[in-house]
Chain A
Amino acid sequence: MDWHQLWTIISLPDNIPIVGLMFLIPFYTWYAFRQAFANDRLIDQLDADPEMAKTHHRKTQPYQKGWAREVHVWPYLLRIEFLSAIIVTAILMVWSITLDAPLEEPANPTLTMNPSKAPWYFLGLQEMLVYFDPWIAGVLMPTLIIIGLIAIPYIDTNPLGNGYYTYKQRRFAIWTFLFGFVILWCVMVVIGTLIRGPGWMWFWPGQTWDHNKLIFEVNRDLHEILGITDPILYGIFGFLVVGGFFLITAFGIHKLMTLTEFNRKILARMTLLQYLTMQVLLITMIGLPAKMAARLLFRIKYVWVTPWFNV
């Protein structure tokens, strides 16, 4: 266990945000779900007692008859904004005094840094580069992420949960978002920073980052494994495999969508276009872990090989 190596990585000034991320995301997830479960409990009560539903102000926060529904922005909101501004500045000041922004050697195009990493927030994408061709990992996936994010409000036909924390009422949406943001994005950023060492090789925390490390991994294309050598043949074969994957995943998702009564109700509210976009987005999102599994478990390099591009 090379504690020195672990400490150098973590104490690197530029890695502070990632270490911060590792603490902030779990904290805020817990903070949000605490309120969500509180709300869910209240919802159950209201479901159970329609009378109460009529009179209740429908919030967990206490409310009395005579209290103002709305309070003045000044001073109540502005004072807390003022307070948060001071706290943020204090943190920034202390952080800037103690830790120095890194300044390495002057840029030297002839000397490649090993490992040469993208800025920390793009490490998720760089991690995808290991499994996909650059055009998928670098261009297709990011565009789909952005479009996916933008499309969420337009494909989420569930009217519930608008303006309050709830888990019960939006289980499907929350799980897909958590899977996409926390697992695929934040965890991959942490991996890219702390785990990926020289030569973009996998170094367990505590392993020394050795530039001369050599690992033996032979990844072969799927069609090679199955012995298809004719390019046209394995071109079509590849298309079939990917297509198959799409169908199976789509069926799986549909299964999920129609699991509970509530889900079916929401599904009914969706137009065909909304449904299709959601399916495409979810399938490509699941495509990433699928490809990672194929690579890590079965050493499959490419599934679909064509003269112009590979998947």
Chain B
Amino acid sequence: MAEQTTKTTEQAQSSNGASGNGKRLFGIDPDAIKAKATEDINALKKPTRTDLYKSIFRVKHDDTPRSRTLGVLSNVFLHLHPAKINRDAVAYNYTWGMGGISFYLFWVLTWTGVLLMFYYHPTKVQAFRDILYLEHDVPFGKLLRNMHRWGAHAMVLTVWLHMYRVFLTGSYKKPRQFNWMIGVILLVLTLLLSFTGYLLPDDQLGFWAVTVGTNMARATPLLGHEGPFGIQLGMTAYNDVRFALLGGSIVDSNALLRAYIWHCVAIPGFAATFMIVHFWRIRKDGGISGPAPMMLEKEIKPLRR
């Protein structure tokens, strides 16, 4: 392609040179340039034809089924969905969209969380001061923190409702039992995420909420120094499971740091992995479970062990 074009330009030059109509400036023919310019403008009228566009969007976006399928399957984000879906699953009233909303909230929380991490130091004195700084100094800081907190509360709600929907539609049944278990683990991780987040502003509300929460850990049987058989196993306030959780006998700077790391790195990591498994199993266990055709009592097939 490249040498061909140069030949044409050389011809243009040699022909012009030969004709020597005297208008050449520095060896470039203005008419050629004008031609090229008009060609570019015309190309712009149909952007989707340009190389640039085509390099980005490999799939053409017309209304044909093939393009619609490819649109989903060839997109790294969208290929979470199958190409086609049960016609009735599109309606709101079946799935209530709770799983999707939870996932969306998870992303909102991750983004607002990362932004908050720019301003937050998990040390005893500085934590509270940073929250004050966020509230008063950082532009949109208050909004950011509120979004993060209310998003968290909303996510807990949507996760519960999602479980509720999955149960009521019996979607945990064969073959999706394992996926239900992953869901329960994700539920617990969400609660832990919110629980560790509660402590980070280092104010009285968070401090005492976490203290009450971790006091329960103190009473773990065998591992807690106040739980049954704990003392017998040599558990004291300084080596039991609560101490492991808090990194100290009371909720102070160590607890703050550990909560910070759990909240920002560890649990989101686990949650993300379990989500991946969760989404994978949804697709592999047959996609959205319904609304499936109803089975009658008499059609129950005998169990094969």
Contact = CB atoms under 8 A, between A and B. Distances in A.
B151 A92 contact: yes
A57 B293 contact: yes
B119 interface: no
Interface in A134-163: 134-135, 137-140, 146, 149-150, 152-154, 156-157, 159-163
B280 interface: no
A24 B154 CA distance: 11
B97 to A, nearest CB: 5
A69 B87 contact: yes
Given A121-B194, A164-B169, A169-B297, A139 B212 contact: no
Contacts of A146: 184, 188
B88 A149 contact: no
A156 B173 contact: yes
A239 to B, nearest CB: 14
B208 A112 contact: yes
B72 A74 contact: yes
Contact of A163 (B143, B169, B207, B226): B169
Contacts of A53: 296
Contacts of A88: 101, 104-105, 108, 154
Contact of B204 (A106, A129, A181): A106
Interface in A285-311: 308-309
Contacts of A177: 167-168
A116 B204 CA distance: 9
Contacts of B226: 134-135
A107 B207 contact: yes
Contacts of B65: 72
Interface of A: 14, 16-17, 20-21, 24-25, 28, 31-32, 35-36, 39, 42-43, 46-47, 53, 57-61, 63, 67-78, 80-81, 84-85, 88-89, 91-93, 95-97, 99-109, 111-113, 116-122, 125-126, 129, 133-135, 137-140, 146, 149-150, 152-154, 156-157, 159-166, 169-170, 173-174, 177, 181, 186, 262, 265, 269, 308-309
